[in-house]
């Protein structure tokens, strides 16, 4: 692999020249900007973990295409064991970073696109599958980070892609040439975009024949001509000053995943990197499979975050002298129960995985939607319990500048003192950590990342096998089956 270490990864980003704006100014180096550097360090952990004895077997895999050792984040799942190893890896990374490490979207896009490109070619023999495999081998060998770009702006949501007054509200093919295609549009909420190497574009929804120009999947470098990224704001991002450490909450890593808008202004993509162009009947499968893979992840990565939060409030209770209270134990126990229940959901949809016609394994889609839907409830409840246990001081804690001030610093140390002479600074730091992990964009991302709760409810209802369950009830009640009228 060309990129082997966290340092290699950061150096590879410095060699790129993407167009990125934040708060009205151009970011020249994502590894150095206070706005983006924490997210870079979180993603770098995926590279670092691959070089450890303890977790290397989770963070790496053997490519079924080349037989070479690769990052698991570039691997196509070959069996249930691969699906379960991914889950275990994501939980560990959540524990190590306490945030989003950003490579999952591209990972899930790779797996969805692989299986769908195969099926398109089984019907049309377009050469997409061979193109995709060639592209993927390069991604694997160079160990590149891929941002999966699926979500379009959508404009007037009562109208489909081809009905929009502004056709750019869905990314589309503007023209086709002998050498490739030219695309225009945008993708929103793109996690890890500014510190990725390549963009894997996929359609955002199922489409019909009227939307053929919108049924496009392709790949291109983040610094391709015509690509502009606008980095989003996050809660308390003004604290990310180089002089601040404690008030940030997590000085090493970001709050969520560092989302960005990606604008494609007449961007050229060579045919060798085009994996779908107009095959609208396959858009549903691509979106469906991507969503299922991605929703399965959340029972793992968010459990890792919940582990950190549970540890934080437990230690804070020790600092505050309340750890032995029965209500504290009960609430911590509930946090653990919710975390492990969520994790078991992610394991379950992986254990029930099955192969697609391409040989790539898919999670159980019903259980994947249940898993993500549980995240939208359990993570919020764990956060609520954490804030409950922490107390109101995390919302009114004075600045670290006051903590270090000669005039008032001693007052903070006096009135925020801990039990048994434990360090006051520990209480301040752990309070900020809890604040960072329970407020603002972290909660929004858990609720709406990989699709809003309603998206999972729709799929859960569709896959609920209600007709079969009606027959179970009728058989036990002695009711004969009749044709529906």
Which 8-state DSSP code applies to residue 57? H
Residue 334 is among the residues annotated as catalytic for this protein? no
Residue 74 is among the residues annotated as catalytic for this protein? no
Residue 400 is among the residues annotated as catalytic for this protein? no
Residue 371 is among the residues annotated as catalytic for this protein? no
**In sequence order, what DSSP letters do the residues of 32-73 get, joined into one string?**
T-TTTHHHHHHHHHHHHHTT-TTTHHHHEEE-TTT--EEEGG
Q: Say if residues 381 and 338 touch (Cβ distance below 8 Å).
A: yes
Residue 81 is among the residues annotated as catalytic for this protein? no
Measured between alpha carbons, how far is 381 from 375 in angstroms, rounded to an integer?
A: 10
Strand partners, 184: 172
| Catalytic, out of 75, 151, 283, 301 | 301
Give residue for tokens 């990565």.
Answer: 301
Q: Which two tokens stand for residue 130?
A: 């061979």
| Catalytic, out of 47, 74, 97, 104 | 104
Annotated binding residues, written as ranges, equal 191
Annotated binding residues for FAD, written as ranges, equal 191
Q: Say if residues 195 and 43 touch (Cβ distance below 8 Å).
A: yes
| Catalytic, out of 75, 77, 172, 294 | 294
Measured between alpha carbons, how far is 478 from 398 in angstroms, rounded to an integer?
A: 69
CA distances from 252 to 104, 255, 320, 440 (A): 20, 10, 25, 18
Q: Which two tokens stand for residue 390?
A: 């922490």
Measured between alpha carbons, how far is 179 from 271 in angstroms, rounded to an integer?
A: 6
Q: Which of 68, 41, 72 is nearest to 58 (CA)?
A: 72
Q: Which two tokens stand for residue 256?
A: 């969520």
Q: Say if residues 201 and 258 touch (Cβ distance below 8 Å).
A: no
| Catalytic, out of 118, 170, 214, 298 | 298
297 — alpha (psi -120 to 50), left (phi > 0) or beta?
alpha
Q: Which two tokens stand for residue 383?
A: 């956060």
Residue 356 is among the residues annotated as catalytic for this protein? no
Question: How do beta strands 19-22 and 25-26 pair?
Answer: antiparallel
Phi, psi of 410 (to 5 degrees): -65, -25
Q: Which of 97, 12, 13, 15 is nearest to 49 (CA)?
A: 97
Strand partners, 231: 260
Measured between alpha carbons, how far is 192 from 103 in angstroms, rounded to an integer?
A: 7
Residues assigned a catalytic role: 100, 104, 191, 259, 294, 298, 301, 445
């Amino acid at each position: 692999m060309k990129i082997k270490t966290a340092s290699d990864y950061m150096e590879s980003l410095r060699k790129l020249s993407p167009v990125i704006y934040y708060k009205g100014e151009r970011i020249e180096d994502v590894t150095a900007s206070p706005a983006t550097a924490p997210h870079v360090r979180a993603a770098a952990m995926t590279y670092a973990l691959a070089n450890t004895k303890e977790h290397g077997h989770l963070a790496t895999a053997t490519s079924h295409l080349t037989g070479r050792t690769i990052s698991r984040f570039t691997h196509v799942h070959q069996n249930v064991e691969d699906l379960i190893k991914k889950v275990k890896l994501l939980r560990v990374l959540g524990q190590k970073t306490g945030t989003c490490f950003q490579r999952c979207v591209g990972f899930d896009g790779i797996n969805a696109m692989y299986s769908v490109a195969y099926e398109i070619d089984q019907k049309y023999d377009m050469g997409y599958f061979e193109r995709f495999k060639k592209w993927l081998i390069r991604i694997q060998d160079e160990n590149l980070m891929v941002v999966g770009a699926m979500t379009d702006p959508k404009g007037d949501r009562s109208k489909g892609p081809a009905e929009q007054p502004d056709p750019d509200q869905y990314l589309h093919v503007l023209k086709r040439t002998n050498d490739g295609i030219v695309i225009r549009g945008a993708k929103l909420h793109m996690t890890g975009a500014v510190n990725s190497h390549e963009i894997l574009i996929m359609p955002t929804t199922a489409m019909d024949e009227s939307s053929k120009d919108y049924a496009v999947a392709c790949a291109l470098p983040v610094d391709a001509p015509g690509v502009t990224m606008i980095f989003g704001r996050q809660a308390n991002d003004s604290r990310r000053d180089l002089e601040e450490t404690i008030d940030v909450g997590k000085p090493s890593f970001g709050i969520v995943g560092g989302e960005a808008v990606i604008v494609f202004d007449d961007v050229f993509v060579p045919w060798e990197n085009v994996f779908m162009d107009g095959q609208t009947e396959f858009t549903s499968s691509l979106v469906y499979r991507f969503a299922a893979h991605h929703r399965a992840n959340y029972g793992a990565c968010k459990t890792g975050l919940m582990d950190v939060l549970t540890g934080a409030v437990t230690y804070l209770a020790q600092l505050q002298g309340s750890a032995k209270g029965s209500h504290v134990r009960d609430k911590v126990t509930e946090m653990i129960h919710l975390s492990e229940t969520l994790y078991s959901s992610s394991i379950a949809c992986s254990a029930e995985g099955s192969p697609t016609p391409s040989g790539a394994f898919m999670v159980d889609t019903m259980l994947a939607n249940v898993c993500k839907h549980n995240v939208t409830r359990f993570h919020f409840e764990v956060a609520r319990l954490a804030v409950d246990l922490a107390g109101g001081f995390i919302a009114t804690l004075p600045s670290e500048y006051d903590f270090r001030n000669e005039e008032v610093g001693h007052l903070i140390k006096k009135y925020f003192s801990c039990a048994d002479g434990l360090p006051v600074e520990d209480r301040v730091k752990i309070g900020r950590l809890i604040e960072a992990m329970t407020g603002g964009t972290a909660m929004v991302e858990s609720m709406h990342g990989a699709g809003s709760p309603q998206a999972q409810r729709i799929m859960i209802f569709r896959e609920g096998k209600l007709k079969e369950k009606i027959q179970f009830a009728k058989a036990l009640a002695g009711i004969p089956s009749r044709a529906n009228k």
